[in-house]
Amino acid sequence: MSKILMLNIATNKYVRYIDNLYEDVEKYFLTDHDVSFLLFTNHKDLPKRNKVKYSYVEHKPFPEPTLKRYNYFMQERDYIEKFDYVFYSDVDMGFIAPVGDDVLGELCLTKHVLSYQTRDCNHWSYDRNPNSTAYVPFGDGVNYYAGGFNGGSSKTFMKMAETISKNVLEDEEKGIVAEWHDESHMNRYAIDNPPDNILPLAYCCPDWKDKLDFEKIQPKILALNKDHQEIRSD
């Protein structure tokens, strides 16, 4: 049995997703292991929960909470590295089927739906700004990965977090925000440091029942539909 840590971020209105997410994770995620949670939030009045640690962060307007997620993780590096494996999940995800040991690896990334819609890397959403540390030139890339679910051994995951957090701050000093924020930086990192465990779309599947073949995909983790404008408004 391994010690697993689930990382989540929920500031302002995103806190509404916590109860359902934690219930889903406890029911379906690595149930043969010892799973704990680390929640980054600006809410100071949340109830105490078993195996949940709260880490206070100041709420900032979008895209700051997603762009700086790896910077948040670095604030808790010592705690995170006490665990065998660590996984990040967007808080507005739905775990709907068992997720087992197939997700374990040194660096585990999930294919984005774009990697299925086209295999031409020139049509993937890499950052194309040569002044950004997330820059990926046309012709590069093997897969495009989703930012909504990823993980790995704690040491390897935090090595990625260290690199991305530094790159985000370097871009910030130049007034640059990568096109798809943390996801752009993660994909740049993955080109230089390929993951050993590549998960299929089932582990970060958009909730597009009218557009995707769910019978074929057999989703385990859904990126839930939401009103982006409403949830991100202060």
Is it the case that residue 171 has pLDDT exceeding 90? Answer: yes
DSSP one-letter string for 66-124:
HHTHHHHHHHTHHHHTTSSEEEEE-TTEEE-S-B-GGG-SSEEEEE-THHHH---GGGS
Q: What is the mean pLDDT of residues 182-203?
A: 96
Query: How do residues 84-131 score in pLDDT, each as one tens digit?
Result: 999 999 999 999 999 999 999 999 999 998 777 776 777 778 889 999
Cβ density class 14-47: b for 16+ within 10 Å, e for less: beebbeebbebbeebbbeeeebbbbbbbbeeeee
In the chain the first and final C-alpha atoms are separated, in Å, by 41
Is it the case that residue 36 has pLDDT exceeding 80? Answer: yes
Give the chain's mean pLDDT: 92
Domain limits, the chain? 3-232
Could you tell me which CATH class the domain 3-232 is placed in? Answer: alpha beta
Q: What is the mean pLDDT of residues 149-169?
A: 98
pLDDT band at 157 (very low <50, low <70, confident <90, very high): very high
Query: How do residues 3-22 score in pLDDT, each as one tens digit?
Result: 999 999 999 989 999 999 99
**Cβ-contact 37, 6 below 8 angstroms:** yes
Is it the case that residue 219 has pLDDT exceeding 90? Answer: yes
* CA angle in degrees (0–180, nearest 5) for 176-182-185: 75
Beta strand 205-206 with 221-223 is parallel
DSSP one-letter string for 19-44:
HHHHHHHHHHBSTTSEEEEEEEES-S
Provide the residue count of the chain: 234
Is it the case that residue 226 has pLDDT exceeding 70? Answer: no
Is it the case that residue 227 has pLDDT exceeding 70? Answer: no
pLDDT of residue 141: 87
pLDDT of residue 53: 97
Query: How do residues 42-85 score in pLDDT, each as one tens digit?
Result: 999 999 999 999 999 998 888 888 899 999 999 999 999 999 99
Percent of the chain with pLDDT over 90: 75
Alpha-carbon Rg for the chain, nearest whole angstrom, is: 17
Is it the case that residue 228 has pLDDT exceeding 90? Answer: no
pLDDT of residue 4: 98
Q: What is the mean pLDDT of residues 149-157?
A: 98
Separation of alpha carbons 70 and 27, rounded Å = 27
